[in-house]
Each structure stands twice: as C-alpha cells, then as structure tokens.
Structure 1
Amino acid sequence: MAIHLLDYYQAIERTSQAMLDAAQTQDWDEMVRLESACAVLIARLRELGSETPLTPEERARKQRIMLTLLRHDAQIRELVEPWVDELGTVLHPPQSRLLH
C-alpha cells in the first residue's frame, strides 16, 4: 500500500493542530478550510480502516494520536463557542416584547 493507515492519522493530527492554531488567532476562514481538509482525510481513512491491520506498536501510536485529536477538539470548541454564540446573536437578535 503506497500510503499507510498511520500516515492518514498523522495528517489528521497535523491538520487538527493547524485548526487549533487558526482558532487561537481567530482565523475562522482558515479554520473552516482546514476542517474541510480534515473531513477529506477522515473519509479516506474510513475507506482504508477496515482493510488495514495494525501492529501493536501502530495501535499504540494510533491511540496517542486519537488522544491528541480529542484534546485539540476540546480546545477548539472552547475557542469557537463564544464566536458561534456571538454570531448567533448577530444573526438572530432577541426580539423585544411589547407589553400592553
């Protein structure tokens, strides 16, 4: 196989780090672009995942990568949620109620 399964995990890990970097600098356009790139990598990984057995060492590396991805995801969510809340307020301002 030309590209090993772990190569995809490592590419996703690098992309996830770049997404975190973009979120930390509030570069939302870059973050969205990277999120799309990550989705492509994940789709390809899913295609290969069931076909490729991993050695115990590779499974351990995969587990470390997955834990890193979870940490990145939590940090990204923490940075993005206030922005999403603010965007929601701008797009859907609270309606004032008239009292009669």
Structure 2
Amino acid sequence: MTKPFAAKTHSAAPASSAPTTTMNTHLLSYYEAIEQASADMLNAARTGNWDEVVKLEGACVLLISQLKHAASQQQLGAEESQLKSRIMQRILLNDAEIRHLAEPWLEDLDHLMKGKSKTVH
C-alpha cells in the first residue's frame, strides 16, 4: 500500500529481525508523519483550502490505521514515549487551530443544512 506522505516519512516497514531501536524509530516515524500532515492541514486551513484539509485528513486516517497496526507489534521505550508526547501535543495544538479556523465555515454549513441562508449586508 502506498503512503500519501512517502516522500516525507520513513515508510519502509521494519524487518522483523531489526533491533528494537530501529523498530521504535520506525514507530516514531508514523507519529512524525501524522504531525507533518496536521501541519499541512493547518497551512491549508489558514489559506481557506478546505478541499486540501479534507484530503489530508483522509491521509491522516490511513497513517493512524498503520500506526495502530505497528504499535500493536512494538512498544516505545521511555525516551521515545517522551518524544511521542511532545509530537502529540503539537498535533493537538494544530488540530485546535484548525477547528478554530473551521468554526465559521462549519456554522455556515450548518445553516445551509437547516435550509437557512446567511444574509451578508
């Protein structure tokens, strides 16, 4: 399966005989790819490119699925877990800003779905 961020991530699957450190690095590469995708989503949201945001969100879903599979086979050490936590915090900050930027757009969509049109004066 081709990853959407193959050029930006370490997407090669680890060999089963690879040392634990190499596998942990591989596992962290998923978190890093998701972080990059969230940063790309934020940049797209800042420019109002919501189609790109949706496209990148789909890529994130795929990466998260792959991460879950990889994480079921390997656990991170203490040092890697700290790095993962810092990455996750950045992802959450990006997500919060994306949601903030999307609120007016979502409100307009909600009005359209309810049959109400927004009047601009």
Instruction: Please give the alpha-carbon distance, in whole angstroms, between the structure 1 residues aligned to 2:74 and 2:68.
Output: 10
**2:76 is paired with a residue of what secondary structure?**
coil
Structure 2: tracts of 5 or more residues without a match: 1-13, 16-22, 117-121
Structure 1: tracts of 5 or more residues without a match: 95-100
Instruction: Please give the alpha-carbon distance, in whole angstroms, between the structure 2 residues aligned to 1:52 and 1:29.
Output: 35
Give the match for residue 27 of structure 2.
5
Identity of matched residues, % = 47
**2:73 is paired with a residue of what secondary structure?**
coil
Give 2:61's match in structure 1, choosing from 24, 39, 55: 39
* 2:34 is the counterpart of 1:29: no
TM superposition shift of 1:91 = 3.0
Instruction: Please give the alpha-carbon distance, in whole angstroms, between the structure 2 residues aligned to 1:93 and 1:54.
Output: 50
Give the match for residue 98 of structure 2.
76
The answer to which structure has the higher helix fraction is 1
Point out which structure has higher relative CO (alpha carbons under 8 A, 6+ apart): 1
Aligned length: 95
Give the match for residue 90 of structure 1.
112
- Mark the structure with the bigger radius of gyration: 1
User: Once superposed, what is the RMSD of the aligned Cα atoms?
Assistant: 1.6
- 5 Å-filtered alignment, 1:59-74, equals 59-74=81-96
The worse-fitting range, judged by mean Cα deviation, of 33-42 and 49-58 is: 49-58
TM superposition shift of 1:77 = 0.6
